[in-house]
Structure 1
Amino acid sequence: MSLSDRSKTILAELVSNPRITSMALAKKYGLSRRQLGYCFNYINEWLITENLPAIERTRQGHFIIDQAVFTKLNGEEEPVGSTILSVNQRVYLIIMMLLSSEEELSLTHFTAELSVSKNTVLRDLKKVQTYLNDYHLSIRYSRKSGYLLEGKEFQIRKLLINVTYQILQMHGGKSRIKELAHIRSEQINEIYRRIENVENKLNLKFTDEKIETMPYILILVLRRIEKGKQVHSFSIQYEELANTKEYKATEEIFYDAKQIPVEERLFITLHLLTTNVYWSEYLTEDDAIPNLIPAIDHMLRLFEKSACIYLRDREQLLNKLLQHIKPAYYRIKYQLTETINIQDSLSKEFKELHHLVKRSTGPLETLIGNSIPENETAYITMLIGGWMTKQGDSIEKKVKAIVVCPQGVSVSKLMFNELRELFPEFIFLDSLSVREFLDYRLDYDIVFSPIYLETDKKLFKCKAFLGHEEKYRLRKQVMLELHGYIPKDIHVNHLIDIINNHTVIKDEKALKEDLQNYLNRDEDSSVKQNIGSKDIRLNELISPQYITIKNSVASWEEAIRVSAQPLVETGKIGPEYVEAMIHRTEEDPYIVIGPNIAIPHAAPEEGVHEVGMSLLRLEKGVKFTTDHVIHLVIVIAAVDKKRHIHALMQLMKLASSEKDRNRLINTDTVEEIYEIVKLYSTD
């Protein structure tokens, strides 16, 4: 008795995913309950003829599968030809045939090789095309040439490397590749021998996994080169790779293959560089990528700040990350990262860590010149998370907070940063809009927001901009709510008694004095801004010459130009900064900081010569998006991230006052606007 294609597919799914329910199984493969029942009966009949126990199905739709079934279908003793292939496995094998076949391929070739019907192959070919979409490749069929792969050779090579790896993970994968690609064992053994020689000669050591896959990949790549399917011009830089040990390894492995062009040698070098390669316990300076170590160190410091921890044995962790990130550097730079999603394998705590790692990878992105793919950040997360677990560190017990602010990104970020400084012992995961909050998936303990929100977590309502006394009260309220005490209500004598119970105090008077100084320090010391004589006040920036009053303007773009004109005329900004503000507004419209008031701005390097602000008051507001009409346009020109902050905070307080905001909108004179600005420029 033999199984139909449908029954083979269902059995393969049950063996690879035994926890699937009958309802989920039917939905996944588009089957009715009756069709699934027929398949199930055929599968059990086939199992009985193979002297295997039948699969049971519970009333709840779960399956009970005997271990003997798994052993028979996945065991090492199972002949390759009799293994039931899953859909994904058939997809990989079809792609390997397309990559390596010496003859024209028709449906008959696929049906014979995979032991399935033509209809199944046609369905599988659609799935192959879906898989190829990630590589920007396509399948073309013609009567003359059969089925062919089309697309850039560089992308085909990426596909070849990934699919070879996937097939080698299958049961009997080595035999399948040898059979499909007509690779002889002696060819594999010769490459093995050359790799071992390279390891000894150049003091390189490849991982066991890569040693297994490299011979097959190198043989298949060489064949494509010999057929004239070569990688030509692409962005790999000779100067960057030619002095690496991996380039020397490429030359050693192919010492007798003189026909390999330089571009191909660079591609093979790149393949070696993107694998996990170790040559000593610690990388030497000669092997390091310029500025990679400082970038990793900076990334770790940002992570420590976000996670509220100090990593122990930091140098060892730095080296461990360097071993992984060096090959990742080349994968990311040349877009060779695998497309397989590994995020689902992250544990609950690791998912929170992953979020914090992603927020810390800016230094690496700047160095590489590309954003870090999700898979690469997931690998980095597992390395850091594993290290923390080994050292006994965790973020699980730390208070995790989010900030929900409906007033736009600019206000939200300021609120987020202020609260993070106010509560340095908390992990602040994100600043969110209300809509983002409703769909938020990470676990958190408390929410800060200026509005009421429906949540089963602790909600602390607070203003977007907090004054000195408001910060003091909020910190007391939160600590009392979370911990049941106010930090200042701790008595030194009680502490001395507790310490005396556990240790010998050498100098009780000095200890008491130190504890007293610590407990009675200014509670706001952790949240004070460095507001000294050098801080610029709001009225110093928005002086009368930078205030413009108009009845109306034709468009939002004109509003920016009119508001910015005084800054352009005095040389504080260049005309290019005005264009940059307009462009950034199109990209990120969240610059509204209160009803009828907006603060367009761009990056300092886009045309700022001197710190400045300018204000435009419009009697008839200008429409900005469908949700906002703006009467007050304040252009901000920042030279760095600090000098304008004090004035900006004063502006935010003004924006939060409905009374004074309306006075600004309704006034008719520059002098009156300036008097209102001065009211918020005294603290």
Structure 2
Amino acid sequence: MQFVMLLNASGYVTIGEIAKKMDISQVTAINDVSRLKEQFLTQGVYIKSSPGKGIRLVYTERSVRHVLISLLARMIDQFDGNYSVFQNLILHQLNFIHPLGWFWSKVKLYDVQLRLNLLEDDVKIAALYFFVSMNRCLGGHPILEEESGDKDGLDKRKLKKLYQLIANELGLETREGELAVLCNDAKLFPFCIPQEENPYLYQKIKMRVIDFIGNISRQLEVALYSDEVLLELLIQYFMNERKMNERLDPALINQMKADYPHIYRAVLECLDSLTDEIRCDDYEEITYIVMYLIAAMDRVGPAEKKLSVLIACPGGVAVGQLLASKVRRIFNFHIIGICSANSLYYDERMKRADFVISAINIAKSDRPVIVVDPLLSREDIINIYELSYMILSEKRAEGFVEDRLDREMTRLQKIVQENQCSPERKDIEAAVRLLNEKFSVRESGAARLKQLFLPEFVQKTKGCTDWEDALRIAAGPLIRCQRISRGYIDATVENCKLNGPYFILREGFCIAHALPEKGLIEPCLGLLYIEEGVDFGHEFFGPVHMLFYTCFRESSQWNLKILRTLISIAENSDLCGKISAKDGHGIYEIILEVLTDGLDGE
């Protein structure tokens, strides 16, 4: 819509005018225009900005036609004579005189008369090409002579005849420049070229790959559309019917999924723009695509990675993997590594870090440090945003040159806006709290806690076979009470195998968990106390005695208070001594009392 609006404009257009016409915020308009700039960089269309005036398109007629054909190609793929509301809106904005259906019918008519024997795909691409080019001519936008290029040696007499017959019906003069461009663009038309060369298949796949790379670039905030190697590799991959050189080891696929969840998620969200032949559960093929993307990100990455961040945690792995995963989902940082707080001072990567995000207090550091909860509360996100914005502002003030610096600052603003409550929502929540208190319908923190944490969820045992056995014993009553499925415990075990025991937070203490979509039925909290302890193979911490199993749907403030209170138990040696001397029911009473006190006022 914005591209067509700029195309129809007679001069400069301001961001405010775009926002008003589209009924969107100016921040959204700025972000969308940035995407347009990226998308058209390789297609010969440019967006020129002028201070005090606004923006406008700079293009040749041939390039803008190619962009329009590319944008409308998905429409023609499903053409049955009818359009959706959005498609009708786009076509109306183009101000084209003759509809696509008219060209469709004419191509089919002259196909019979000229005995062209066109296939269905031939009819589609010819109708779309004539629809764009002839409507542009009728609108006063012919091809200029200098754009036409040279005619090659292919015989395109039938194609020319088809063009001339339709042009005559429209009363269009058949210009030499138009015919020259038609001949040069003939690679779009499969009936003009020997079938074995199949250039149309190449062009069709290329169109979809470009669309996919544009979508994935927006998802990952990396300019992958500038990487010609990625473009050609993906085209060849699909041209060769996705023939894989070798089968991938399932362990490698699982490791890749764990290391690059944001790329897998982006691929799954954009896969329909690339192909409908790959199932969303076929992780072998998806992993091949992810590998191409990772390699491309390494090639183009240095210019796109805005801020370098080092993750610090209590013990090297510990909560570092969890924290890094949370940061990757929200921010576009280059995470240069995860290290323990003890090794932070002599870690060489500190020299390359813009700042440190830590799950533990750090006394001294050469770089700015943000101390956060491993689950990243809304306040943590805002604090990270504020520090990031300050660092980016300093870079700009120091003359730091980076093409997308302003865009990154705008994107950070959008992140914090999405994670902050609107004033209206805060007012509504305050009103609801007042009504609940007035009419005594508010459930107390203790009552909510007793629904989450039942006596039968606490167990005490002398020992376990191994750490996996301990996790399954701890989850046993939660599964029996139908709070979680067996898939939840399987996901926890798998995460521990892939990422190490990142949920061990203190000596003898851990809080195991998995993602809620892995089998959480109803929120719950379990505890297994192991007298002899069980070794998880952690680099710094010894056997675990208190194994908490948390199953929450979201990282709300209430849940975060529970987690902080649980961690405070591990830091209180006297309290741990009392717990070790009690049976299962006695342990439950102590933990319940501590949690209730921690949630006081909630």
| TM-score of the aligned structures, taking structure 2 as reference length | 0.42
Of the two structures, which has the highest relative contact order with CA contacts closer than 8 Å and spacing of 6 or more? 2
Higher gyration radius (CA) = 1
| TM-score of the aligned structures, taking structure 1 as reference length | 0.38
Q: Which has the higher helix share?
A: 2
